[in-house]
């Protein structure tokens, strides 16, 4: 919990950290109507996918810094050595990451949905699926961020490691939004998203903690 508060404080002092993913999200979504053409029918069809892919990329962008700064100034090593269960520390850090980068995307998404001509019935589902989805993306992505913590310039590597693992989230998330836009039943997709969230939140911290121990040992 203390780790969570500390990370939150750090994030709000450095405005860029929580503003950058948000701006990236907005800019990427804006590029699609410009690149594909502003026809409302076309936009409505691709809106769920575009919103979801952009959210995923924005999350990737902020993952890089999740452990890297703490690793560089030695805080991470202190956390590993502190004797507190590392999984709990990790959960604090990942939750802080999600609140600063995932949650703003969720809150802003209806506005962008409006700009993308998203069909009426899909807004609640968009917000709900992104809520669940970004949470699991934070946890899954943190595994990758922890694995490459001692690698310099690991950005591309991070995407290579994490993106294959995030594809189910993307498929079911955007699937739910598309289905809702067409007025179809979405409980199946949402159940899978819930399952992924529970799996990610309960198992990912173990993998993250293991990876961080390796990373810290390698960096010494």
Partner 1 sequence: MFQWIHRFGSAPFMYRFAGRLAPWLGALCLLSLVAGLYLGLVVAPADYEQGDSYRIIYIHVPAAWMSMFTYMVMAVSSAVFLIWRLKIADVVAEASAPIGAAFTAVALITGSFWGKPMWGTWWIWDARLTSELLLLFLYFGYMALRGSLDTPQSSAKAAAILAVVGVVNIPIIHFSVEWWNTLHQPATISKLDTPSMHISMLRPLLLMVLAFQLLYFYNLMIRVRTLILTREGRASWVAELDTKGPENA
Quick one: 110 or 210, whose CB is closer to partner 1?
Answer: 210
Q: Binding mask 144-183 vs partner 1 (x if CB under 8 A, - otherwise)? A: ---xx-xx--x--x--xx-xxx-xx---------------
| Distance (Å, whole) CA 159 – CA 141 | 9
Quick one: 66 or 207, whose CB is closer to partner 1?
Answer: 207
Quick one: 119 or 210, whose CB is closer to partner 1?
Answer: 210
Residue 133, C-beta contacts closer than 8 angstroms, at least 6 positions apart? 52, 55, 169, 170, 173, 193
Which positions from 187 through 216 interact with partner 1, judged by CB under 8 A? 207, 210-211, 214-215
Quick one: 50 or 105, whose CB is closer to partner 1?
Answer: 50
Residue 158, C-beta contacts closer than 8 angstroms, at least 6 positions apart? 60, 63, 64, 141, 144, 145, 148
**Exposed/middle/buried for residue 111 (C-beta within 10 Å: 0-12, 13-18, 19+):** exposed
Q: Binding mask 88-127 vs partner 1 (x if CB under 8 A, - otherwise)? A: ----------------------------------------
| Distance (Å, whole) CA 166 – CA 100 | 19
**Exposed/middle/buried for residue 1 (C-beta within 10 Å: 0-12, 13-18, 19+):** exposed
Quick one: 110 or 219, whose CB is closer to partner 1?
Answer: 219
Binding positions for partner 1, rule: CB under 8 A: 143, 147-148, 150-151, 154, 157, 160-161, 163-165, 167-168, 207, 210-211, 214-215, 217-218
């Amino acid at each position: 919990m203390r780790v969570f508060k500390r990370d939150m404080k750090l994030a709000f002092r450095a405005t860029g950290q929580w503003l950058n993913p948000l701006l990236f999200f907005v800019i990427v979504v804006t590029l699609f109507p410009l690149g594909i053409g502003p026809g409302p029918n076309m936009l409505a069809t691709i809106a769920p996918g575009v919103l979801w892919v952009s959210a995923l990329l924005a999350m990737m962008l902020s993952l890089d810094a999740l452990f890297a700064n703490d690793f560089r100034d030695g805080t991470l090593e202190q956390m590993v050595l502190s004797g507190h269960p590392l999984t709990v520390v990790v959960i604090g850090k990942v939750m802080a990451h999600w609140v600063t980068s995932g949650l703003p995307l969720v809150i802003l998404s209806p506005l962008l949905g409006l700009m993308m001509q998203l069909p009426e019935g899909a807004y609640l589902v968009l917000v709900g699926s992104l809520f669940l989805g970004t949470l699991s993306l934070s946890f899954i992505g943190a595994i990758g961020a922890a694995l490459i913590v001692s690698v310099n310039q690991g950005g591309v590597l991070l995407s290579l490691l994490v993106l294959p693992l995030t594809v189910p989230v993307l498929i079911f998330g955007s699937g739910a939004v598309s289905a809702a836009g067409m007025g179809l039943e979405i409980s199946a997709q949402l159940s899978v998203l819930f399952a992924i969230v529970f799996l990610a939140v309960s198992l990912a911290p173990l993998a993250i903690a293991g990876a961080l121990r390796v990373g810290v040992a390698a960096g010494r």
